[in-house]
Amino acid sequence: MSVDFPERPEFPKRAVVTAGMPYGNKSLHFGHVGGVFVQADILARFLRDRIGKENVIFISGTDCYGSPIAEGYRKLKESGEFDGTIEDYVMRNHTDQKNTLRDFEISLDLFGASGIGMTKKFHWDVTDKFITKLYENGYLKKITNKQFYDAEAGTFLNGRQVVGRCPVQGCKSEKAYADECDLGHQYMPSQLIAPKSTLTGNTPEMRDVSNWYFDLKAFDGLMTEYVEKLRKDESVRSIVPDTISEFLGAPALYVKTEFMSDYERVRQTLPEHVFSDGKTSFVLTFDRLEDRDRACAVLAAGGIRYREGKTTVPFRLTGNISWGVKAPELDGSGKDLTVWVWPESLWAPISFTKAYLASVGKDADEWKKYWCSKEARVYQIIGQDNIYFYGNAQTAMWLATQNGAPSLEPPEGALQLTTVVANHHILFLDKKASSSGAVKPPMAAELLDHYTAEQLRAHFAALGLGMKSVSFRPKVYDPSASERDADPVVKEGNLFTNVLNRLARSCFYTAQKYFDGTIPEGGVSAETSEGAARTVLAYESAMYRTEFHSVMNILDEYIRGCNKFWSKNMTQADREDDGELRKNTLIDAFHMLRTAVVLSHPIVPAGCEMIREYLGADESFWSWDRIFDTMGDFVEPGRKLRFLYPRVDFFAKHESQLD
């Protein structure tokens, strides 16, 4: 083969792939699967082929704790719609989520649960040790602030039992809770605008509560360097450093210009700040977070409405909601504290890695080979709304666990910084869909009533969520679609159900008709070999950059080109009754088929596995150590292939699509 090999990307020796954890209060909607899990599965399957399945761990799990779950359970219990414990409630949803992921061919090594089953023990232990390490390294501080209290109900309110408007400038959230809106913006509870208790509808009181906070602000300098480092890494999507950097600005307040005269009245009583004018709002910028918070109190007392700019604030680790992981008693107090769900969900993948390795008989320190080694890499596939947590908070906390001065190049044995693969929003019929919002998305399981898992996997991979927000418009759910309109989901699936399926069937049927069910002996042409190699290298580069839409484009061009090659040459062979051309075309086509099937394997695994089984090839068929081998290296000349009966499809359409 005379292909000039470019410098190929370097993959880790070992890898962990994680997908964002769904809350344990609901089934999975299409966004969970199409916006995160399919891409994570494609990457995990590719890495298994690329570096060996024994070197890849793919994990996720149900996020069992947090106020959304506690509140959802409370409502169902009070209405009589659920009879059981909160553990029973979470287990029901966990099982449903697990079954849905299985039906979408999501090949998790472990789908755990942070608060139930065998993974709970690991997670509680990791949580205790992680928070204790942050405390010992001097990065935790206890802060006393106000928490919402419903006097009529006689109870402190958890995060989801208070609703109001988000105080963060530019936020378009439809709902804001005690200290976080549904777009992930954080703020102090006292800053929530127009709070109401969901228990009684009353305006709650504010009472003092002490909690542990991580000193996230201490890492602003390192995080600024980290952003620049990420911008130079071609495997990191630009949305990640762009979003991280949004929170590294100075503390600021945005005030509408209609309050200018009111501002002038209180200006001299505000902490020192810089005033910047704007068209609809003016901006007050402060050097310190404490100064901004003092200014908030002054503006609020003067009846001046404001919005906060994004900035780094102390990252809360604990709370007093009973349904949560028990927090360690760090200074002899706080025995009733539990851990806030967001921080513990960030190290949950470590817990799940430990649990998985224990389940396959590995020793207790094996997890460090995946999380604490420079030879390994952790890929975390998430939605863009969660970049603050995985990009800002997690990175800083990982740095804070290092012994000595934190470094962006962690030493061997310390937690290595993860690779955050963030997808933009997957919309539904051009609108942002949320199970808690006005536009209700279809549940993931419902989609399988209309499409096969592999049609949906191909479609979700092709959307290009790594570049921009994209709308999911399945024809069966689109009221604006006419009978003549093509179904976007079926369109991407046709690459496999029509084009690759046709190539595979043609190869098998021709071998059966003319060559006694065997692949004829002979060499692959240089042109075919070089074309396959170029495709392999382009595909490998796209996978390294996690550009799944590019992967689909590369496959589309190659597979359709293979079919054109087949049609042209076989038509000529049949017209001229040229046995030699037919034989050489079939040899080349089988090599093309091997290449197409190996590259399609992460996207449409079941159909590709079926082809391998019909070939009688072993599992080394998928190994990238042999990616440039020909079909003859896997199927000895003269050995019969498994007989393919008429109308057998390797990639089938959904039964509802059949005429």
What are the DSSP calls for 57-83, one per residue? EEEEEEB--SHHHHHHHHHHHHHTS--
Task: Select from 21, 6, 4, 121 the least CA-distant residue to 383.
Answer: 21
Q: Could you give the dihedral angle defined by the CA atoms of residues 255, 258, 260 and 265, in that order, rounded to the nearest 10 degrees?
A: -100
Instruction: Report d(CA 399, CA 594) in Å as an integer.
Output: 44
Q: Give per-residue burial for 179-192: e unless 16+ CB within 10 Å, then b.
A: bbbbbbbbbbbbbb
DSSP symbol at 22: P
Confidence (pLDDT) at 5: 66
CA angle 396, 345, 437 (to 5 degrees): 110
Confidence (pLDDT) at 437: 57
Are 344 and 114 contacting, i.e. CB atoms less than 8 angstroms apart?
Answer: yes
- The number of angstroms, rounded, from the C-alpha of 561 to the middle of its chain's C-alpha atoms is 32
Helices (H), 104-216: 118-136
Confidence (pLDDT) at 241: 98
Q: Could you give the dihedral angle defined by the CA atoms of residues 54, 28, 199 and 204, in that order, rounded to the nearest 10 degrees?
A: 60
Confidence (pLDDT) at 560: 98
Placement of tokens 């039992």 in the chain: 161
Instruction: Report d(CA 241, CA 392) in Å as an integer.
Output: 10
Could you tell me the pTM of the whole model?
Answer: 0.92
Q: Is the dihedral of CA 403, 405, 411, 414 positive or negative?
A: positive
What contacts 143, CB < 8 A, 6 or more positions away?
Answer: 210, 211, 212, 213, 314
Confidence (pLDDT) at 123: 98
CA angle 618, 623, 625 (to 5 degrees): 125
Instruction: Report d(CA 246, CA 224) in Å as an integer.
Output: 10
Are 197 and 164 contacting, i.e. CB atoms less than 8 angstroms apart?
Answer: no
Instruction: State both tokens at 188.
Output: 């102090």
Number of neighbouring beta carbons within 10 Å of residue 424? 19
Task: Select from 279, 289, 340, 303 the least CA-distant residue to 67.
Answer: 340
- The number of angstroms, rounded, from the C-alpha of 508 to the middle of its chain's C-alpha atoms is 38
Confidence (pLDDT) at 576: 97
Bridge partners for 379 per DSSP? 17, 419
Through-space distance between the first and last CA atoms of the chain, rounded to whole angstroms = 45
Number of neighbouring beta carbons within 10 Å of residue 585? 22
Confidence (pLDDT) at 305: 84
Q: Is the dihedral of CA 610, 611, 612, 613 positive or negative?
A: positive
Are 609 and 600 contacting, i.e. CB atoms less than 8 angstroms apart?
Answer: no
Confidence (pLDDT) at 648: 96
Phi/psi of residue 77, each to 5°?
Answer: -65, -45
Provide the pairing of β-strand 110-113 with 140-150. Answer: unpaired
Instruction: State both tokens at 489.
Output: 């989901």
Q: Could you give the dihedral angle defined by the CA atoms of residues 336, 337, 338 and 343, in that order, rounded to the nearest 10 degrees?
A: -170
Instruction: Report d(CA 564, CA 499) in Å as an integer.
Output: 10
Block means of pLDDT (10 residues each) for the chain, 659 residues, are 72 96 94 97 98 98 91 90 95 98 98 96 98 97 87 78 84 81 74 88 89 96 97 94 96 94 96 94 96 92 88 93 92 84 97 98 97 98 96 98 96 97 94 66 95 98 96 93 93 96 98 97 96 98 97 98 98 96 98 98 98 97 97 91 96 91
Task: Select from 286, 265, 353, 318 the least CA-distant residue to 128.
Answer: 318
Q: With 0-12 CB in 10 A as exposed, 13-18 as middle and 19+ as buried, what is 577? A: exposed
Phi/psi of residue 52, each to 5°?
Answer: 100, 130
